[in-house]
A and B are shown apart, each in its own frame.
Chain A
Amino acid sequence: MADCTLRIADFLIRLENRSGLPLALEGGYVPFIADSVDGPDIHVLCNADIPDYLRPDAVALYTANQDGHLLWDISEWKGGLRFRVFMPEAPFTLQQVALTDSGFQLWEVYSEAITEGGEQGICPLAYPLGPLLLYSLTVQNEAIMIHASGVFDGNRGRIFSGFSGVGKSTMAGIWKHQGARVINDDRLIIRNGADGYVIHNTPMFYADEPKQAPLHAVFLPFHSPQNTMARLKGSEAVSRLMAYCIQHGYEKTFIEHHLHFLSDMCGQLPVHHLGVVPNDEVIDFIREHESRG
């Protein structure tokens, strides 16, 4: 693959291959390849090999660890930022280094070559750089990334947000069993535009087609011996959803962006605490309570 454009959550990401090696995308990204090359939101210049001068440690603005090892870090770099990404399965081994301007419009990504099927290539959006790039798009726009499942029943779009184990995937499965379309069962981008709030899926480790749906209601599920539903007031809803957003708290403007987005959203959409007994009856329970206003 040479150059290509991805359309993810209606953001256009232009990948320009300067490596001389084929561009390899993780399988989850392939369905998001778009025909359009007009007006991309960001450009990603894709290079092979990581130069030595980009490798050294520096004072990190932010670090993310996985299983006790450094997964990626961010440091200042000549007026912009440098992202160092280490291989999730091979700690201390650099996978990519990405340089970007402070507005995240232009990315220069250096990737170590990979071999797949006997052929060399580069995978510039290999996890976790792909989601990091998407995150940078959300903080520059009226959008957030959030840990949530999202479903659309043909009439209303609903999300179920929370940390692992609260029942996000379970709720998506129940709605799917009742014929609703699952936008994603783990991670969503929410955008606010002329059509109101819209939820989008993003590339995962598995292939799925791009999906979107209007958003009408937000639920914070928890396991309960009976179905319960209680609407949250604004400040509590904002506080809870802040915790479930995907965010990197090193930059105050990013936090302010999330606070602004969520306070507006919670002022327009109902946010409910939802005690859940995980079977199909919870769907009728939700619809009945919604119809009462």
Chain B
Amino acid sequence: MELNRLAALKPNFAARKVGDELVLVPVKGSVADMDEMFTLNDVGSLVWDRLEAGVTTSSLVAAIVSEFDVKEETARADLHGFLEQLSGLLNG
């Protein structure tokens, strides 16, 4: 998983925290794309907030373990799945 590449794609989205969730909207030219929105839960929001150049998988796992009181193995598996989804979303 290329975290730096994902971080570089972040500016292509507008983001807004609504309650515990984060609404992401792609910045594209077409009004029709306004129907392509994504909502991240609290774990996803945490990863999104920390996704920046230089971030490592280990630091993200540590942040999830610290914030949500889950085992490291669980956090690592969840993070892997989430980043796969996010990669598809950002590259879409």
A residues contacting B by CB (< 8 A) are 61-64, 233-236, 238-239, 242-243, 245-252, 255-256, 259-260, 263, 266-267
Contacts and interface: CB of A to CB of B under 8 A. Distances in A.
Given A238-B18, A243-B37, A250 B29 contact: yes
Contact of A63 (B11, B18, B27, B29): B29
A239 B39 contact: yes
Given A249-B28, A250-B27, A251-B27, 5 more contacts: A235-B18, A238-B23, A259-B14, A263-B16, A263-B17
Given A255-B25, A255-B27, A242 B34 contact: yes
B31 interface: yes
A259 B34 contact: no
Contact of B34 (A61, A64, A249, A256): A249
Contacts of B26: 249
B58 interface: no
A64 B29 CA distance: 9
8 contacts: A64-B31, A247-B34, A249-B30, A251-B27, A252-B27, A255-B27, A259-B14, A259-B15
B39 A235 contact: yes
Interface residues of B, number: 22
Interface in B15-65: 15-19, 21-23, 25-31, 33-35, 37, 39
B31 A236 contact: no
**A-B CB proximity, top 6 nearest:** A259-B16, A255-B14, A235-B21, A235-B18, A234-B18, A239-B37
Contacts of A255: 14, 25, 27
B27 A259 contact: no
A260 B16 contact: yes
A234 to B, nearest CB: 4
B45 to A, nearest CB: 10
Contact of A249 (B18, B31, B39): B31
Nearest to B11: A252
A252 B19 CA distance: 22
A243 B23 contact: no
A255 B35 CA distance: 13
Contacts of A243: 34-35, 37
A234 B35 contact: no
A249 B23 contact: no
Nearest to B38: A239
A249 B16 CA distance: 16
A161 B89 CA distance: 27
Contacts of A267: 18
A180 B89 CA distance: 44
Contacts of B37: 239, 242-243
A62 B32 CA distance: 13
Interface in B61-81: none
B10 to A, nearest CB: 11
A260 B26 CA distance: 15
Contacts of A63: 29
Given A62-B29, A239-B39, A242-B25, A234 B34 contact: no
Contacts of B17: 263
A215 B26 CA distance: 29
B82 to A, nearest CB: 17
A64 B32 CA distance: 11
B31 to A, nearest CB: 6
Contacts of A245: 34
A248 B27 CA distance: 10
A148 B52 CA distance: 39
